[in-house]
A and B are shown apart, each in its own frame.
Chain A
Amino acid sequence: MTINQSGWKPTTPIASATDTGTVTGNRALMLEEALIFEIGDTDRTGVDIAPASADTGRLGTLLRSAPIGLPGLTEPETVRHYTRLSRQNYAIDLGLFPLGSCTMKHNPRLNEKVARLPGFADIHPLAPKETVKGAIELINELAFWLVDLTGMHGVAMSPKAGAHGELCGLLCIRAALEARGDARQVVLVPESAHGTNPATAAFCGYRVENIPATAAGRVDLEALKARLGPDVAAVMITNPNTCGLFEPDMKAISDAVHAAGAFVYCDGANFNAIVGKVRPGDLGVDAMHINLHKTFSTPHGGGGPGSGPVVLSEALAPFGPLPFTARYADGSVKLIEEEEAGEEHPHTFGRMTAFHGQMGMFTRALSYILSHGADGLKQVAEDAVLNANYILRSLEDVLDAPFAFSGPCMHEALFSDKGFADGISTLDLAKALIDEGYHPMTMYFPLVVHGAMLVEPTETESKAALDQFIMALRSVAERCRAGDESLKSAPVHAPRRRLDETLAARKPVVAWKEPVPAAAEAPTPSEVGDR
């Protein structure tokens, strides 16, 4: 079976000569790249595999008869294909990535190096424990620092991402409530919470109710207090919140929630703004996930993987998931799985992933924590907050900053589209920034602000980099206010112009299909005559 029926040509147009003025669709170093299905073949391969006996006797009638249709490429073709594709991506290694609430900071390469040590990368999750002592020790060492930095009691290491950590935290809360025979049904989520928060609460069977924000962009404490009652299991708060502000009433919120018999879940996605400055445990938080990839820098890889350990208060720690690590008085470290759970960790709510969690991220996070140390982590928070406030102050004369009156922002600055000319949107500003060589900021989030723009520079940007970004953003913002119609056609310098997302959703094409060969054309009379 041949996939590559049309030679190297793409099955749908990737570019036309009129756009680029070139025959290939390439433009000097900007190279077009077809799909592997269009350039590869099922009989081509980039690996040399030792020959095997053709004994398939243990497969019975299940031996595959039909082809799969997987294209192969040789190694040089593979390297070129993916290298070319990589060049169509913006990345933090190329420049500022000001995504609010997503935290894209420099990724130290030492972290990559240590995560690839065979002693970590090449060990099996079910290896006999005496052969993986160093890995267990590493998990426990990281767990120790996470507890220390947050002022909490214990930590569940296995959640695979921030949203998975939210799930873990809510499951701990639910297990703790059930242990005391309390079947509460409602989770309160402030308006400015991450979209994953209500999704998570609903996913574990809770009814979700919103709590409004005040005009100053904070949780409305009085509204929250009024809603608390015997049916409320938990309140999910993001602090610093998604308006970029610290919740100054956090302790009062926690006290009120605890007095009502409920628990406080804190979305720790923005922990990098306060690490080394504030311990969430001191504010009364019962559970908080830490996005290791954000606060302690794991490369995001175009969408993940992430890692979301959950720090827990004394009330919730006994209910944490398996496997669980614990350090004993004699200094020894133990990884507790199902077999020991009964005696060592009897109240666990169970397992939430097949194995121990994201070991690769644990290694990177520990490397990052030790590299910064106590002094460096404090500086991380200070520089992240300094950089965000510098952007806020430098742009508030050209961009509306709805909560600038509320006080300093934390690690991210929030702007809105107020003041833009009619018909010019946040989207237009974002696409124009692309032409200036920047990845746009987070758009239309948080939902409490119209046309929101959430800018998070992080601590790994220099003043020079910030000044250049501010200059670019200022120029684009002024065009938005002036109603520059050319913004509508931005970007013009990116590998692609604006893409039709409606078409993609209306007629989803999510896997490559072999093109239907055009019917062979009947010979024309003259051709027949020529024979």
Chain B
Amino acid sequence: MRYLPLSDADRSAMLETIGVAHVDDLFRDVPQEARLDGPIAKLPSHATELEVERHLSALARKNVPAGEVPFFLGCGAYKHPVPASVDHLIQRGEFLTAYTPYQPEIAQGTLQVLFEFQSQVARLMGCEVANASMYDGSTACWEAIGMARRITRKSKTLISSGLHPHYVSVCNTMAKFTGDTLETAVPTLTTETDIDDLIGRIDDETSAVVVQYPDILGRVADLSGLAQAAQAKGALLIAVVTEPVALGLLKSPGEMGADIVVGEGQSIGVGLNFGGPYVGLFACREKHIRQMPGRIAGETIDADGRRGFVLTLSTREQHIRREKATSNICTNAGLCALAFSIHMTLLGEKGLRQLAELNHARAVELSQRLAAIPGVELVNDLFFNEFTLKLPVEARPAVHRMVEKNVLGGVSLGRLYPGEAALANGLVVAVTETATDKDMDALVEALTEAVK
């Protein structure tokens, strides 16, 4: 019981102070029939550090880490190396084991980091303000739709077919219970995105248009026309970024007129982690700040006139507004925001641009090599570090055949869109700076075999 500091002598002394004979007397409000007398049925007794580590290591060894094989998976989670100093710094106990900064005088470290994080995210997204992080990109996307509803007082949302299908699922789940109408569609394996179609469907009832940039197939398109069309009808444009590294090279959604930009920040500073913990990014126009969900750090002064930071605008939040709150979020992904912010500081504008250039160059090179495989077509015209191939066979079994060659060769659209026959041959390939020449050779060879 290495984590429990009380000795039996301590316990006896404390029970005496309290004035009861046995610790079970402190549980006397629990009805007798609900108390567990014996040990919990199946759980063994406490294990040593060595035993636990052995057990978990054995489970870990049954998995194939991305870093150990040629690896080309993306679709909302990306493999980028995180500088060693990031993990070192987030493991400092004063960051790692601190609570939400409700007592600002002794939480300036966390609060200044959150202020810096907000400033970085706002600039990256091309917006004026950002919050201090959310759970992940998919839930941030839903929160953005709710925010648009509060601003426009309308509840019909057009969702681009290029939005990650899991993000669409999250929004559909919630919309069933809030009365929002979501118009969704599945993508087609074409070069063109559905922006023109979306523009044509915006009407006076439309609260928001949601579009992903780059989209689930890796396509990028100019959002300015869509932003203007939405705003002309009193609707908002919500842009979703799942690969923020792209913004090192691409114009930001905010620059193109998006009103709310949300994103998944996992790419910068946070590992793949089998899907979590990740970090949701949320930025918007300053005029909408009071409708923005989640925590916000703000600058102020202390009693001596010195600069300091506090959590602010909390009257929007659940602990004050209860059922009238803008969101029910309580926890945020503070530690992942810290990791994002440190990694972004290490990159700086120069490093981010270089990283983006390297990603793009590797992707362009690989796309050309893969498109040269007989029967394989490149769907995209424009892309950043991820593109879609149309295979001559179903992609799903092809992915498994590549696994047999020890290559993790991409995400099949069949897995993301079960039942959509028109997408079954689609394979989404992500190429980051981790892909070596040998990795690319291995993928070309494995895919050539897999589509035969």
Contact = CB atoms under 8 A, between A and B. Distances in A.
Given A304-B333, A349-B176, 11 more contacts: A49-B354, A86-B95, A110-B52, A118-B68, A134-B60, A166-B328, A276-B36, A303-B101, A355-B275, A359-B277, A408-B18
Q: Which of B34, B68, B274 has the most CB of A within 10 A?
A: B274
A499 interface: yes
A371 B327 CA distance: 36
B318 A500 contact: no
Contact of B338 (A16, A302, A361): A302
22 contacts: A40-B348, A46-B348, A47-B355, A58-B367, A73-B346, A93-B96, A113-B53, A123-B63, A127-B73, A141-B59, A160-B277, A174-B177, A200-B318, A250-B31, A282-B34, A354-B138, A359-B276, A367-B52, A371-B46, A434-B105, A495-B106, A496-B108
Q: Which of B138, B304, B322 has the most CB of A within 10 A?
A: B322
A517 B22 CA distance: 70
A98 to B, nearest CB: 11
B352 interface: yes
Contacts of B43: 145, 148-149, 369, 373-374, 377
B21 interface: no
B313 A508 contact: yes
A24 to B, nearest CB: 13
Contacts of B330: 161-163, 194-196
A188 to B, nearest CB: 12
Contacts of A282: 33-34
A439 interface: yes
Interface in B1-31: 1-6, 10-11, 13-15, 17-20, 23, 25-31
Contact of A79 (B31, B85, B221, B317): B85
B299 interface: yes
| A-B interface, 7 closest residue pairs, ranked by CB to CB distance from nearest | A72-B348, A355-B275, A301-B335, A119-B60, A303-B334, A134-B62, A93-B93
A354 B167 contact: yes
B136 to A, nearest CB: 6
B99 A439 contact: yes
B325 to A, nearest CB: 4
Interface residues on B, range: 35 or more
Contact of A124 (B66, B123, B321, B348): B66
Given A47-B347, A118-B68, A358 B331 contact: no
A10 B104 CA distance: 20
Interface stretch (B181-189, B203-211, B248-256): B248-256
Contact of A204 (B13, B122, B177, B331): B177
A27 interface: no
Contacts of B77: 124-126, 355
Contacts of B384: 58-59
A302 B321 CA distance: 22
Contacts of A174: 177
Interface in B274-309: 274-279, 289, 295-309
B166 A351 contact: yes
Contact of B29 (A46, A128, A246): A246
A5 interface: no
Q: Which of B65, B97, B169, B222 has the most CB of A within 10 A?
A: B97
A118 B65 contact: yes
B331 A304 contact: yes
Interface stretch (B126-134, B229-237, B439-447): B126-134
Contact of B358 (A43, A52, A278, A361): A52
Nearest to B348: A72
A461 B94 CA distance: 18
Interface string A42-54: 1111110111111
A41 B350 CA distance: 9
A390 B20 CA distance: 11
Interface in B85-114: 85, 87-101, 103-110, 112-114
A75 B3 CA distance: 35
B172 to A, nearest CB: 6
Nearest to B60: A119
Contact of B52 (A134, A307, A371, A439): A371
B64 A277 contact: no
Contacts of B178: 203-205
B275 A128 contact: no
A258 interface: no
Interface in A243-265: 245-248, 250-251
A500 to B, nearest CB: 5
A330 interface: no
B411 interface: yes
Interface residues of A, number: 216
A377 B3 CA distance: 11
Given A59-B382, A356-B276, A72 B349 contact: yes
Given A35-B112, A370-B52, A300 B100 contact: yes
Nearest to B83: A47
Contacts of B357: 52, 54, 56
A478 interface: no
A269 B142 CA distance: 25
Contacts of A45: 346-348, 350-351, 354
A36 B120 CA distance: 10
B277 A361 contact: yes
Given A89-B107, A351-B170, A494-B106, A12 B303 contact: no
Interface in A102-138: 102, 104, 106-108, 110, 112-114, 116-128, 130-135, 137-138
A511 B128 contact: yes
A349 B350 contact: no
B239 to A, nearest CB: 13
Contacts of B334: 300-305
A107 B97 contact: yes
B312 interface: yes
Given A338-B169, A510-B289, A37 B119 contact: yes
B194 interface: no
Interface in A72-109: 72-73, 75, 78-79, 81-83, 85-94, 97, 99, 102, 104, 106-108
Nearest to A357: B276
Contacts of A86: 89, 92, 94-95, 109
B222 A90 contact: no
Contacts of B36: 276-279, 378
Contact of B173 (A171, A276, A394): A171
Nearest to A67: B349
Given A174-B177, A496-B104, A93 B336 contact: no
A153 interface: no
Nearest to A447: B322
A61 to B, nearest CB: 7
Interface string A7-28: 0001011111001000000000
Nearest to A60: B382
Interface in B49-88: 49, 51-53, 55-68, 71, 73, 75-77, 79, 83, 85, 87-88
A93 B97 contact: yes
Contacts of B108: 85, 88-89, 495-496
A375 interface: yes
B90 to A, nearest CB: 7
Contacts of A6: none
Q: Which of A81, A126, A351, A491 has the most CB of B within 10 A?
A: A126
Contact of A301 (B4, B45, B297, B338): B338
B64 A299 contact: no
A72 B105 contact: no
Contact of B83 (A46, A127, A322, A498): A46
A512 B331 contact: no
A68 B264 CA distance: 18
Q: Which of A250, A305, A356, A431 has the most CB of B within 10 A?
A: A305
Given A89-B95, A196-B328, A161 B135 contact: yes
Contacts of B97: 91-93, 104, 107, 299-301
B448 interface: no
